[in-house]
Amino acid sequence: MKTLFSLVFQQKMTLVGLAMLGIFIGGALLAPWIAPHPPEQLYEPLRPPSSQHPLGTDDVGHDLLSELIYGARASLSISLVAALASTLIGLWLGTIAGYSEGQPGNYVGFMIMRVVDILMVIPRFPLIVLMSAFLQPGAGTLILFFTLFGWPRAARLARAQILSERTKDYVQAARLIGASDRRILIRHLMPSVLPIALTRFVIEFQHVILAESGLSFLGLGNPMVKSWGMMLSYAFRYPTIFITNLWVRWIVPPGMCITLVVLALTFLSFSLEIWANPRLKTWSARGITLTTHKPRIEREQATGFAPRTKPFRPLPRT
Amino acid sequence: MKILQYSLTLLIVLSLNFILPRMMPGDPLSYLDNSDPSVDSPMLLTEEMRQKLLAYYGLDKPLGEQYFDYLTGLLRGDLGWSIYYNAPVAQVLWGRLKWTLLLMGTATVIYLTLGIVLGAFSAWQRGSRLDLGLLFSTFAIGSWPPFFLAMILVILFGIRYPLFPIGGARDPLLAGATGLERAKDIAYHMVLPVLALVLSHLPGIYLLMRNSMLGVLGEEYIRTAYGKGAGDREVLFRHALPNALLPMLTMVAMRLGFLIMGTMFVEVVFAYPGMGTLIREACLARDYPMLQGTFLITMLFVIACNLGADLLYTRLDPRIKIA
């Protein structure tokens, strides 16, 4: 009964996450059709909500609802592209690292992993703040920054997966038949990394959307790109924002949008992780689990421990 | 190996700090004086300050010599001259750092304790209604961007129901207060910022702890402990908890970057006179030496903590040797 419950529960969470994300992405794509006004158009400033302007206007006269809908484009596109690029690059380099390791005379993997080690220690947000302050990046450069510091985690996970997978019998069998390295990599090893890569992508997406909005909030984004974070930044700089009721329609909507997107991604990463890690499946049957603690799993994958199949004794409740 | 890795990281960070201002379009100083008409300069640079800056950067020397000067300067604790404050960067930083450390330290103690207790409890009672409730509230709270959370707290508890001050670290009217009164004033001003920080970091720690605990509870030695007749209490406190706490050490160090990011936003929203506000001010005023100084201190702090956690971990867990 409990198993059934958690399965439904888990699936529901996936669906809810996908639906929420879908609404936001759909809104971003359809912005020109669903936004009531063009975002650059100026009206009477600080208008209260009306049928013409459901959320009113800001201090220069932009329609807030239209700004919010167009803001989805900026926020989502930057994070989506950056997350995708980090995951793909990480996947690629991690696979190379995992595959070349153990081959005599091949130091490519070793070099890649040392770079990963270094990049993992540097806290990326302060560094991106500094780089943005100096170089005043546009959307493209910003994506580059996020990718530059985003790929190592994906690479580490991919490497660990490749290392554990390539010792398995079916890979050895493929090698015996005479399959080339290339074929083994693409046909057998890459697919096994996919679930991990997908989870990583979702988590990275989440990270970038938070970091991007934070950067804009600090006033370091591109003022021409009006993302949700930039809206919040403008709102925060408006002198009487907290005292009047203005915050209800100027701060809460963009803030809530970021929160809901992050929540949707949390749901997705949660259910993806259970799918990606069969070891967690036995646990999920007895409750819900969420793994953010990777090193342990990574270690076990690297050492090739068999996944636990025996259910453990249920603990007596106190 | 570990030491080598960290020294290399440190060198890269220092070099980045050196290179970035030199990568800016044009001369680093052209942003600051009005010699370049295409740039809208935020302030006028007096000739005296320009000399000071030129002397600091040594921009007339060859690049290699500049780099060497920069490194030796750092060793003497010379972080440069702040344009905005017209004072040594190190001096301004020092005044701000203590507030940030106070805020971060208090918040860390609270969210770590709460997160570990709740996480362990949740894992122990896994699948129960309480566990699910906790898990879902964490999801809900954890999704809020820290600055949004802080702004909502200001609006709710600072303005709607004015229970706490909405900004600053001390009441200017109580500037002369000493002893207990001063401590009370500081604590009173800290409530909301610390609450914002705790709320935004508790979910992460809670999930990590819950997960770590779930992993430990699935281990064979827990079964063995039950098998030899240990009670629930003994299993929990003697076998499960210590082992589940071990990986938290690395995780807390790895999350430091997050913590600093969160503190920065919270400080900005509450106008708290710490490093975060300083970074924002430096950004707005284009006070590059100040920005570099804050960056350097932040990086040093994080790298030191990571190294410390790594070394401590190998002490605590004999299974892992320094590679």
**pLDDT tens readout for residues A207-266:** 999 999 999 988 887 777 889 999 999 998 888 888 888 888 899 999 999 999 999 998
Question: Which of B241, B261, B269, B305 is the best substitution to test chain A (most A C-beta atoms within 10 A)?
Answer: B261
pLDDT of residue A292: 35
B174 contacts chain A (CB < 8 A):
no
Stretch 128-147 of chain A: residues touching chain B, C-beta under 8 Å: 129-131, 133-135
A122–B306: do the CB atoms touch at under 8 Å?
A: no
Cα–Cα nearest to A292, from B143, B205, B199: B205
Q: Is B118 at the interface with chain A, CB within 8 A?
A: no
pLDDT of residue A144: 93
Measured in angstroms, the CA of A119 and the nearest CA of chain B are apart by 8
pTM of the predicted model as reported, rounded to 2 decimal places: 0.84
Q: Is A118 in contact with B20 (Cβ distance < 8 A)?
A: no
B22 touches chain A (CB under 8 A): no
Give B32's pLDDT tier (boundaries 50, 70, 90): low
A3: which chain B residues are within 8 Å (Cβ-Cβ)? none
Confidence class of residue A6 from pLDDT cuts 50, 70 and 90? low
A244 Cβ under 8 Å from any chain B Cβ: no
Mean pLDDT, range A122-147, rounded to an integer: 86
**Residue B31: pLDDT band with limits 50, 70, 90:** low
Cα angle for residues A315, A293, A8 (degrees, 5° grid): 60
pLDDT digits over A55-67, tens only? 888 888 888 999 9
The reported pLDDT for the residue numbered B290 is 86
Q: Rounded to the nearest 10 degrees, what angle do helices B179-217 and B256-270 cross at?
A: 140
How far, in whole angstroms, is CA A318 from its chain's centroid?
38
B59 touches chain A (CB under 8 A): no
Among B21, B9, B116, B109, which residue's Cα sits nearest to residue B63?
B21
- Which of A130, A131, A288 lies closest to B132 in CB terms? A288
Which of chain B's residues have a Cβ under 8 Å away from the Cβ of A149? none
- Note the pLDDT tens digit of each residue in A36-90: 888 888 888 888 888 888 888 888 888 899 999 999 999 999 999 999 999 999 9
User: pLDDT by residue (tens digit) across B205-230?
Assistant: 998 898 888 888 888 888 888 888 88
Cβ atoms of residues A120 and A152 within 8 Å: yes
Average pLDDT, chain B: 82
- From the list A118, A122, A259, which residue is nearest B299 (CB)? A122
Contact between B298 and A121 using a beta-carbon 8 Å cutoff: no
pLDDT at A304: 40
Average pLDDT, integer, range A155-159: 91
* Residue B254 scores a pLDDT above 90: no
Distance, CA of A309 to CA of A278 (rounded, Å): 9
Half-sphere exposure of B259 (CA within 13 A, CB side): 27
Q: Would the ipTM clear 0.90, i.e. be above it?
A: no
Please name the residues in contact with B130: beta carbons below 8 A apart, sequence gap of 6 or more: B121, B122
What is d(CA B117, CA B140) in angstroms, rounded to the nearest whole number?
19
Six-digit token string for A238? 């408006």
pLDDT at B301: 87
Q: Which helix (H) or strand (E) holds B87?
A: strand B87-88
CA distance A209 to A225: 14
CA distance A201 to chain B (A): 17
CB-based contact B251 A293, cutoff 8 Å: yes
Whether the CB of A288 is below 8 Å from some CB of chain B: the reply is: yes
User: To which H or E segment does residue B21 belong?
Assistant: helix B2-23
pLDDT beyond 60 at B34: no
Does residue A145 contact residue B279 with C-beta atoms inside 8 Å? Answer: no
pLDDT at A315: 54
Which of A207-211, B130-134, B146-150 has the lowest average pLDDT? B130-134
Residue with tokens 């509450």: B270
Average pLDDT over residues B59-63: 71
Torsion angle of C-alpha atoms A200, A203, A204, A209, degrees rounded to 10: 160
| CA proximity to B296, closest of B6, B11, B5, B8 | B11
Is the pLDDT at A2 greater than 60? The verdict is no
Fold topology of A2-303: MetI-like fold (1.10.3720)
Collect all residues with Cβ–Cβ distance below 8 Å to A233 and sequence separation of at least 6.
Answer: A216, A217, A218, A219, A221
**A287 torsion bin: left (phi>0), alpha (psi -120 to 50), beta (else):** left
Q: Which residues of B touch A213 (CB under 8 A)?
A: 145
Cβ contact, residue pair A121, B280, below 8 Å: no
The secondary structure of residue A286, as a DSSP letter, is: T
- Judge whether residue A314 has pLDDT over 70: no
**What's the rounded Cα separation, in Å, for the pair B233 and B214?**
16
* B177 has a chain A CB within 8 A of its CB: no
Searching chain A, which residue's CA lies closest to the CA of residue B305?
A121
CA distance B177 to chain A (A): 30
What's the pLDDT at A294? 39
In terms of average pLDDT, the best of A58-67, A170-179, A203-212, B2-11 is A203-212
Distance from CA of A49 to the nearest CA of B (A): 20
pLDDT tens-digit map of B184-206: 888 889 999 999 999 999 998 99
Name the minimum distance, in Å, from the CA of B300 to any CA of chain A: 10
Among residues of chain B, what percentage have pLDDT more than 90? 19
pLDDT of B36 strictly over 70: no
- Domain ranges within chain A, ordered by starting residue: 2-303
Q: Residue B87's pLDDT band (boundaries 50, 70, 90)?
A: confident
The answer to whether B85 and B79 have CB atoms below 8 angstroms apart is: no
Radius of gyration of chain B (CA): 24
**Mean pLDDT highest for which of B16-25, B57-66, B157-166, B200-209?**
B200-209
Model confidence at A307: pLDDT above 60: no
Give the per-residue pLDDT at A276. 67
Which of B84, B118, B147 is the best residue to mutate to test the A interface, defined by the most A CB atoms within 10 Å of its own CB?
Answer: B147
What tokens were used for A51?
A: 């049928």
A260 to chain B: nearest residue by CA? Answer: B143
Range A303-314 average pLDDT: 43
The more confident residue out of B62 and A85 is A85
The answer to whether residue A280 scores a pLDDT higher than 60 is no
The rounded percent of chain A whose pLDDT value lies above 70 is: 83
Specify the pLDDT at position A300. 42
| Gap between the Cα atoms of B100 and B297, Å rounded | 12
Average pLDDT of the residues of chain A: 81
